[in-house]
Structure 1
Amino acid sequence: MPVMCRHMPSTDRRRSGKGVRVLQPARTISGLHPRIPGTIKDTLEEAPDVDALPFDSTEWCEEHEEYLSMFCLDDLEPLCEQCAADSHAGHKVYLLTEAAVDCKEELKNFLSGLNMKMERFKQVRQACQLTSKYNQAEAQLTEELMMKEFEKLCKFLREEEASRLLALREEKEQKMSKAEERIGRVNQMITSLEGKIQLVEGELDADGDGADFLQLYQDTMSSAWISQMEPGERPRPLIDVAKHLGNLNYAVWEKMKRISPYTPVVLDPRTAGQSVRLSPGLNSVRIASRPSQGSEQEMGGALSLPDNPERFHHRSCILGREGFNSGVHCWEIKVGDIDNWTLGVAAQSLSRGAEIEACPEAGLWCISLRDGEYRALTTPSQILNFDSSDHLSRVQVKLDCDEGTLEFINADIGALLFRFRHCFAEMTYPYFESVSVGGNLAVLEQRVDISMGSEQTVILGKDQEMKAQSPTEKGTITDSQSNGKAGIEHLIEERKEKAVCSVINKNEAQFPEKDNNTAAVKKKTRKAKFNVTYHVSLNRALNNINNESGSHK
């Protein structure tokens, strides 16, 4: 509430009978006009004649029935001459007209500060609105890209499902066809045997047992005998279920890796400079010819990039999404025909908003190509021992946080370009920068092979293979190992040969001497043709045995 003088006039009393306008003094006063007098006497001497003041522009003191012509700084209220001399004696006062001017000036300054604060709030609101729109657009684009990727996987799974179901159905049809064919042959044999059985039973049921029967005996035996009348081995029409269901998920996953590339470094769009464009897979970057208004792949040029704290404002660069502070990490970049680039790692504390010089002191450990010269960005920079006439198309970056080394390797020939030595205590991120319009800096894909029953993981690139560090055996890849691609290839091929040999030996142990067994089976299934003499002798021998058994009884 404003401070009011106890002598302020009421609204129902004035000398002229007209309404009185009550002054509402300011709540606080700071930096008032320097004309403030030191004593009330001086102020009273400077006060204008009351009768000379316009009647409608003055305020009225109810107690002393005088005009309010002064202002008290101590109580921040307007006064009449009598109030200033009596109840406000010793206070700092000055003319009311000057106080009004100073108070208005201070209110103007205060209003200017409020307007400036309002502008800052509006800027923050605009930034929040921009960020909200950007997030909404990015979420929509990301959702579309994710749906496309999952659709690729779903399409692969549907095709793989159809292929495996087709193989199962073909095997089923093949087994059923063979079974039906065999059933047909067996039915024919059964029909033939039924006829022979009826013939033999008819002869046995005949009354004759003399010469007529014996004359027909040979003909009956010849008619009842059928060559190769055995049904053979028992059929095996069962479907190989284990082939279709065994390790099904793993087999499909193995094939899925062909359409699921792996990049060891994923670029972070939140750190991209204003002119940086990203691919949908976040594994390659290029520089646009005009300032970015959102990546073409992301925003379609409709929105400006938000001013978030992770973003680089004065450099056309971008960082990797994942940082490293321990272990060995390696990635390969295809620079192609770009004639101006910088590659390496950046410390987490690297300044994002200020202009900096690329050097280890600023938190950057990089090599670059500028004006046709390959340089290591040390302090001062060093020219690399590399023939500029030989175009460098691929660069391998190997970061060993435990050993404190960062190596840059010519991936085309495996030669070391430069090595930094530094204790990488804080988190470091892969760093990519280019000012060349049109070309792409791309992180190359790698293929990961997981050895079953082993704690080692083998990572194979497109044109190179690199064995990662084993958790149980700490060590780093030496220069000879990094250049000895053939040695690692030999190791992988040796493992494959051992696996194939073990499978072959296992099969040989499970099915020994397959050819010899097949021959033996054929020998066992081969039948002699019918011999009448043999059967007559057999029947005579059986009759003798039966007679001897009857005589003993």
Structure 2
Amino acid sequence: MAAASNLPSEDQFLCSVCLDVFTDPVTTPCGHNFCKKCLNDYWNTNNQNMCPLCKKVFTSRPELLVNTLFSEMVSQFRQSTQQKASSSSSEQQESRPGEVPCDVCTGTKLKALKSCLVCLESYCETHLEPHLSRPGLKRHQLMDPVENLEDRMCLKHDKPLELFCRTDQTCVCMLCTVLDHKMHEFVPLKQECEGKKVELQKTEAETQEMIQKRRLKIQEVQHNVKLSEEDADREKAEGVQVFTGLKESVERKLKELITTIEEKQRSTKKQAEDAIREMEQEISDLMKRSTEVEKLSLSEDHLHLLQSVQSLNIHHPPPTKDWSQVSVPPASHEGTVRRAVSQLEETLSDMRKTLVKLPMKMLVEVEMKRFQKFAVDVTLDPETAHPRLFLSDDGKQVKRGDVRKNLPDNPQRFTSCFYVLGKQSFSSGRFYFEVLVKENTVCTLGVTRESVNRKGNITLSPQNGVWTIQLMYGNVCYARDDPSVHLPLKSVPQKVGVLVDYEEGLVSFYDVEAAALIYSFTGCSFKEKLLPLFCPDFYGMNSSTLIISP
């Protein structure tokens, strides 16, 4: 063990001038060893002949003779080092595509372990050894291996980029802080990277949320397409059943009916496929961005991260459509068969042919059965009720009272008309609800847009965003259209059904018990949310109750 500890160390074979293993070692009169060339070069650049190590001055330049014994020891040390390097190289991994190779290796390039920002070179385990052992090289700045080390140097001052200028949002060197970027705010690259990583993580979360929303929207669209296809199939089957009994002269109308339904379905399906394709493309773009953000957020390369963040523009996600307001509802086929039959009746009447006419009541009954799948649970909103209106605790009944309640005059409350709105609002698809009116002699039912005037008198008309009917004195009814339409009824409605198709622009009212259509507002243009509207007594003549039916 004592002999081993007395073996010369590697530092004893390094020239203190070039910091490399001795080449032609010579000894000065003061006893210090140097490379012959290094010592001559040192003396040639100085006015005095002095020892570079102890600074002893010689009156004349000493004659330099190679130290033979020491030269042999250096040669043995060099051979031993090369053998170790050769053995170590055989154990190291060869550089693969995408990995940084060693800049010093000749022939087969080994995988680099570190890069030096001073030498601007990357080193494998063997060639990295001098940077770990030699005093002069230990001061060099090492980092994980990267390519294009020259890009990490300040182009103006040829110094490593070590700081981040928050004022100019760029990476700078030490000289930049006192010259070009004087009085600016600086932080170390690592500190700035930590902040950027937090932003990247937030961006990643937002991107994933956008992806998830679009996937859910795709599921919704696909589900609606399926419902639309089922609805179309049912409608075609009913159409075939209705027209089967007609003679050959009316078969052309049956084909037109089926063609109309199928064309509408194809249009709906194409609209859905276009929306799905666009959302899938956005998902693909967002996933690509997510991958880039995730990869960048895991990077330990501070400079690369900061430079890439600038181009990635993490604060502004890629342009995408707001899909929250986009809807591809099932195509509406309500009334298709009924309208076709009406046209046939007119045609056959003109032809004066005998035909057993199909009862319209049967067709309306079929349609109304389908409405049930669009039924919604409507409850009254007390925040909108006129102070003279009294609501039940379950929000299903409303009645006009004789006493005006002392209620807060909030912006949602009607103050001039005896109206109350439903809590539920609708901005797409179809919905249906029923109201018991058998005890009422004067009442108003329908839907209104959310922005309807609530503080003054309201003119009931589609132009003002209100679609209603008014029942008066049992069998008198008015549709408040532009202009109002008088609708004499054959019977007094006991229960009124209200159907709204947002995309089709349709509001229809039905006498549920009689299975009869009362009136339809068609060609409506809905641009905001719709809410059910109720008025149990617009003349102040009775105190009956409107009841929202289950």
Q: Give the alignment's TM-score, normalised by structure 1.
A: 0.30
Asked which structure has the greater CA Rg, the reply is 1
Q: Give the alignment's TM-score, normalised by structure 2.
A: 0.30
